[in-house]
Structure 1
Amino acid sequence: MSERREGIVAEARSWLGTPYVHQAAAKGAGTDCLGLLRGVWRALVGREPEAVPAYSKDWSEPQGEERMWAAARRHLIEKPTCVLEVGDVLLFRMRDRSVAKHLGIVSETGEAPRFIHAYSGYGVVENALSDPWRRRVVACFEFPLEDL
């Protein structure tokens, strides 16, 4: 594993235990899944590439717009979901036929893959990337490593 990818996971792990707070992005104080990704970006890449508009918990479900997916494509490097690497960003669709609106960072691969995410009711946690989670993955991205 490269030092850059190790750095992504180390930074994400430094957020473990941060409470879940919708629209927040402050390590130790509160974050949601997007806020976790934003915090890792700030720590490793620098200034965020665009301002994040206010968003509701349903994201853009009523409109059926894949806003999070579109934003990820603007700033991350999309890759196949079948070859996960430590430090990859996963995008999840939490319910069938709804928009993708949950993010996580791969922390372990191999026999027992794991990921770090901010989950409502739990805060920032590291979980097994079990089959129920894996089935929800709709896209995979890399940080722009040349910037790290």
Structure 2
Amino acid sequence: MTPYYQSEERRAALLQEARSWLGTPFRENCALKGPQGGVSCERFQAAVHTATGACPPIELPVLPVEAVRHWHEHHPESLILAWLQLPEVRSRICRLDEAEAPAIGDLAVLEFARTAHHLGLWCGHEILHVAIPAGVVAHSTRDARLRATIRCFYRIHEP
């Protein structure tokens, strides 16, 4: 399978699009860019990868606020991993082997509390993700605490 973000042009477009979301606040079930908008972690991923042409628009289920904010505190099942298994998502991604290094554009699955309940976008020297309540932020990939939460990576490939 050929990675979608293999070319320099596609990686540059991804980084430009992802960084244009910085400062967008967190809001459940939303993907509206900018300080007056809001976005959740899975909708951030879907919006960025749709805008860059990596995947077609995806209809995501609307989740109760409690599920978005607190699911990981009380459930061992991962809503994020379930989302990654949706047929329209699963058909375009593959999970990386543990020994395989992440590349720009890869999805980082992060674990908090009891389960993998968060997604970040690997951008080389930083991970962009949606934090509560800050919204879309960038963290260094050298941050040991952040790296300790990464459970696995998924890569988007050509159709």
* TM-score (normalised: structure 1): 0.82
Letter of the 1:14 partner, please give it: S
| Structure 2: gaps of 5 or more residues | 1-5
In structure 2, what is the equivalent of residue 135 of structure 1? Answer: 148
**Aligned partner (choices 86, 89, 103) of residue 85 of structure 1:** 103
Secondary structure of the corresponding residue to residue 44 of structure 2: helix
Higher fraction of helix? 2
Moved over 4 A (4+): none
Cα deviation, 1:5-38, whole Å, max 9, x if unaligned, reads 3332222111111111122211111012112112
In structure 2, what is the equivalent of residue 51 of structure 1? Answer: 60
* Identity of matched residues, %: 27
**Aligned partner (choices 38, 50, 62) of residue 42 of structure 1:** 50
Aligned residues: 139
**Aligned partner (choices 22, 29, 46) of residue 23 of structure 1:** 29
CA distance in 2, matches of 1:120, 1:141: 23
| Structure 1: gaps of 5 or more residues | none
CA distance in 2, matches of 1:85, 1:52: 28
* TM-score (normalised: structure 2): 0.77
Moved more, 74-83 or 24-33: 74-83
